[in-house]
Structure 1
């Protein structure tokens, strides 16, 4: 690891956090680029999260889950080695950054990738895995802009896949990131897949608005992104929350459908929230609708920058955004009836 990073030279630091530093390194005689996370020494919590991440990622294989290549645990060093994600994390392409803004279509594709990864954790393994820290900073983007869920240090294992929500709930100390936490989770200390659905819903609004979920300096009504979005939806002024960089890119019907699925994730009763599988279906429908609208209305002028170039903006332009003119968030009138199968027939907790 020292050789791969030139003795952990700060020149190779690509990320810094409470856990320690992440370095860009090269292994296999320089032929393979990797991300090397070096955890701070002497932290008991760090040791638990280090072991937890190894245990979780060693059993997961999915295109939208980051791959763990190896680890080192000796001489008081705790090091994790991952595939290198050339385009960094999603948050750094949404706000407080000099990176080019992501196009609406690109943001949709990213959300679909994340949803597929979370659906795999909830239904594609022997036991349900709950990530517990879904947020834009933990979504990494590879050289092809494929989204991958990362940072499994807080993840927990629930019950066997396919068992009812009551069985898969976990009594646990509340962990996660402020602004993304499910109110049911931090009030009751009971963790389920639907706690994760709430966090994902906040992330959807984050992608749509291009702002952090919690801004303490904002006026009270806009401080919480989730509350502000609900307020605007009910007033029929949803376009107020849309990222200014996206103006002119989102078809009105797509904005309505996207916001409906996002707000359905935030329903107070967790049993009424959709499953990640249902969410994947809705988001794919939104993308198809956006594509068909673009192809029909703007085929002569629409262009994009290749997604393989992480340094370029994948901008596109269609027609202007639109507000929701009527209806409250409980209605979901614009989403096909078969999409929210679990919302209509909620499982018991």
Structure 2
């Protein structure tokens, strides 16, 4: 880590991001928990999630993150840069009882496994009910199986998906959460390493509509059609439909598939892209396992622990990492390690002045704690009150977007010289930007950096001003510097 100077004449810290992080196939973990890897479940504030998702921007919607319409899931990043998150938002009518919602979320939030996209927390304020989970950046099984762009899912990877999914269900069962609602190819997500994970959202049951399955009756367990109740055996039936998906590369109704299997035409089921990549014995074993899962009588289906045992013996290329089997290049893997922009960085990259204003207003002055202000008793008693009153008037005007008044009051505060505040400089910088004065905005952001040399906010505001001045190349470089500082903060 070292300091260097930019073309604009100021210094910043740069960091080298190691892209050669060793990866493993993870087949030996068996889905065990590692509690230290994840933060404890907690309750989030609605404002915090608004900032993380850029105000629930439509640009951040990830409709296939383990969910199908009409459910809406947003990608976001927490303000401290600690985690990318997936936020599922729905109306309180789905959970009228906030306490019931919180209790259910807390129970699911106790689960922690490498085989799950884990639930990190929840939020309930007013009419909003939100779930916060780990964000999985590499799409869903539906995408990789049915709508692939560059290569079909390899046979070895399909077997790994089946095993990891079975391990996830086995882990949940061992923790008293055996019921999983509407298990399908949308619920299987791929993490940064290319490993498949089971979405935690399916472990939460919507209290109002009581529906555990989609309206497509051809894929619904027969006992659910009779009783409207989901059982552990119903989950195994859905697992069987997923095995058919993996075998065929298509979403084939179980009754049609079973007719082919009974007629010993199961090879017709197999995805033509897999020809020559599996033995007849392997194909037969997977077909038999799917058939057992799809038995009409629930008691005749295997349990999830039996699924794990059967699928473990079928694994191929166990020493090959998932990202290799998925065809993810090393270049892509290196890019995944590049520091990510915080919500403020994202807003500044778009010069979204409304979002920047909301973030600075919410952040307040907490970052000023990194700046020492040594005042004598005489200075405190003689000058500080007038100075703080100027800032207070500026803050009121800033909140109301009365830009001229805010600039005047903040200028009075700054020129008073009693207290040094990079946050006041940042706020005045934004006021200048909103007043179409990017040169003045840049000067204030640079002065904020001079006061607090390792403050990402100063770099991000400089970038916004540079974009406004048409200096896009310098702006992008400065954004990267801010992201590197945030990554350094997170490591330390």
TM-score (normalizing by structure 2): 0.50
Q: Partner residue of 1:59? A: 110
Paired residue for 1:81, among 119, 124, 132? 132
The Cα offsets for residues 171-217 of structure 1, whole Å up to 9 and x where unpaired, read as: x966213343210222134432111111100110011111124xxxx
CA distance in 2, matches of 1:46, 1:150: 23
CA distance in 1, matches of 2:297, 2:179: 18
Please state if 1:259 is matched with 2:287: yes
Q: Partner residue of 1:343? A: none
Superposition CA RMSD, Å: 3.1
CA apart distance, 1:228: 2.2
Q: Partner residue of 1:306? A: 324
Q: Partner residue of 1:32? A: 83
CA distance in 2, matches of 1:277, 1:27: 36
Higher helix share: 2
Q: Partner residue of 1:283? A: 311
CA distance in 2, matches of 1:76, 1:147: 33
Q: Partner residue of 1:298? A: none
Q: 3-state SS of the aligned residue for 1:191?
A: coil
Cα distance change of structure 1 residues 308 and 206 upon mapping to structure 2, 3 Å threshold: closer
Asked if the contact 1:50/1:153 (under 8 Å) is kept, the reply is no
Asked if the contact 2:295/2:301 (under 8 Å) is kept, the reply is yes
Q: Partner residue of 2:187? A: 138
CA apart distance, 1:304: 9.4
CA distance in 2, matches of 1:199, 1:303: 27
CA distance in 2, matches of 1:14, 1:104: 27
Q: Partner residue of 1:92? A: 143
CA distance in 2, matches of 1:73, 1:254: 48
Asked if the contact 1:116/1:280 (under 8 Å) is kept, the reply is yes
CA distance in 1, matches of 2:321, 2:94: 51
Q: Partner residue of 2:160? A: 109
Number of aligned positions between the proteins = 273
Q: Partner residue of 2:62? A: 14
Higher strand share: 1
Please state if 1:150 is matched with 2:189: no
Q: 3-state SS of the aligned residue for 2:50?
A: coil
Q: Which piece of structure 1 moves more, 100-109 or 181-190?
A: 181-190
Please state if 1:44 is matched with 2:94: yes
CA apart distance, 1:110: 0.8
The Cα offsets for residues 55-101 of structure 1, whole Å up to 9 and x where unpaired, read as: 44222122212211222211322222211101121111111453642
CA distance in 2, matches of 1:70, 1:62: 15
CA apart distance, 1:283: 0.9
CA distance in 2, matches of 1:180, 1:52: 30
CA apart distance, 1:30: 2.9
Asked if the contact 1:195/1:270 (under 8 Å) is kept, the reply is yes
Runs of 4+ residues over 6 Å off in structure 1:
46-49, 302-305
Which structure is larger by alpha-carbon Rg, 1 or 2? Answer: 2
Please state if 1:207 is matched with 2:255: no
Cα distance change of structure 1 residues 99 and 19 upon mapping to structure 2, 3 Å threshold: farther
**Structure 1 stretches lacking a partner, 5+ long:** 157-171, 214-223, 296-301, 313-349
Q: Map 1:172-251 onto structure 2 (within 5 A).
A: 175-177=212-214, 178=216, 179-213=218-252, 224=253, 226-251=254-279
The Cα offsets for residues 31-72 of structure 1, whole Å up to 9 and x where unpaired, read as: 422212222x35335878965751442221222122112222
**Structure 2 stretches lacking a partner, 5+ long:** 1-48, 331-492
The Cα offsets for residues 206-254 of structure 1, whole Å up to 9 and x where unpaired, read as: 11111124xxxxxxxxxx2x12221222222211111122222121110
CA apart distance, 1:266: 0.8
Q: Which piece of structure 1 moves more, 100-109 or 179-188?
A: 179-188
Asked if the contact 1:130/1:155 (under 8 Å) is kept, the reply is no
